[in-house]
Amino acid sequence: MRESRTLRWARPVVLGLFALFTVLPLYVMAVSSIKPLKDVQGRFTWLPTHVTFRPFVDMWRTVPLGRYFVNSLVVSVSATACSVAIAILAGYAVSRYRFAGRGTFLTTVLSTQMFPGILFLLPLFLIFVNVEKYTGIRLYGSRTGLTITYLTFALPFSIWLIAGYFDTIPRELDEAARVDGAGPLRTLLRVVLPVAAPGVVAVAIYAFMTAWGEVLFASVLTDDSTRTLAVGLRGYATQANVYWNQVMAASLVISLPVVVGFLALQRFLVHGLTAGAVKS
């Protein structure tokens, strides 16, 4: 296919503009995190007057960022672990068995993904409050309640992704294990799962990202002692006098592990996510 001259000329310009649009906030975040306070309190400058790493030290003292970090980490890791385990079981059932209700299950689970969160929020809040009233189990304002909530958020796509990954693993492997006398669960754990390890890691990263970035439910279902980063950082940025250099430093630290994890596994994740979206 020959390329018109306009296209050859337009490509670098258009792609350059997209790149600029994408990079600007990332640049602002990075450069502001190494600025002294007076730089972010005056007119914006593209470079710091002098480079300082103080914001990365001070940010832990201005707000209880460490506590938010621990809360986010505990909730996200537990939610990830649970949802990966549940998704592996469900994904195996969906991939290896044809049973009545299979289609209904998949459609229902996937469609909950598309419902507005606000729809579940009010009833869930009420249910949590009342569960505590009648059983004494503390869900509202606890990390347990948030963990249970988050594990279901990643579940639909996780099941979808992992079932898709299991589909690529030949059934002959299962059958060989069966012939050797292994039951279905042992087959799954000892034979299929090790082969599916990259898929499991990708699902785990996806689940972690979902929990790590969630805002709406965290803003209602947590209290002062269980605040996650998502709510804590917003609280920080809505104060009258904001230390923007510290907020940017904190944002950088919060974002980096997730972005690195995503990019490291982008090939697989991207394939799974787009396939999930396109096929559904």
Give the footprint of other proteins on residues 69-108 (CB under 8 A). Answer: 85-87, 89-90, 92-94, 96-100, 102, 105, 108
Q: How many CB atoms lie within 10 A of CB 77?
A: 16
For residues 221-260, which are near other proteins according to CB under 8 A?
229-230, 233-234, 237-238, 244, 247-248, 251-252, 254-255, 258-259
If binding is defined by CB under 8 A, does position 137 make contact with other proteins?
A: no
* Residue number with CB closer to other proteins (66 or 117): 117
For residues 162-201, which are near other proteins according to CB under 8 A?
171, 174-175, 178, 184
CA distance 158 to 273: 10
> Which residues have a Cβ under 8 Å from the Cβ of 242 and sit 6 or more positions away?
236
If binding is defined by CB under 8 A, does position 115 make contact with other proteins?
A: yes
- Are the C-beta atoms of residues 82 and 276 closer than 8 Å to each other? no
Reported as type and span, the H/E element at residue 36 is none
If binding is defined by CB under 8 A, does position 151 make contact with other proteins?
A: yes
For residues 3-42, which are near other proteins according to CB under 8 A?
3-4, 6-7, 10-11, 14-15, 18-19, 21-26, 28-29, 32, 40-42
Q: What is the DSSP letter of 35?
A: S
Q: Least separation, in Å, of the C-beta of 203 and other proteins?
A: 13
Q: Least separation, in Å, of the C-beta of 51 and other proteins?
A: 18
Angle at 61 between CA 57 and CA 66, to 5 degrees: 90
267 exposure class (CB count in 10 Å sphere: 0-12, 13-18, 19+): exposed
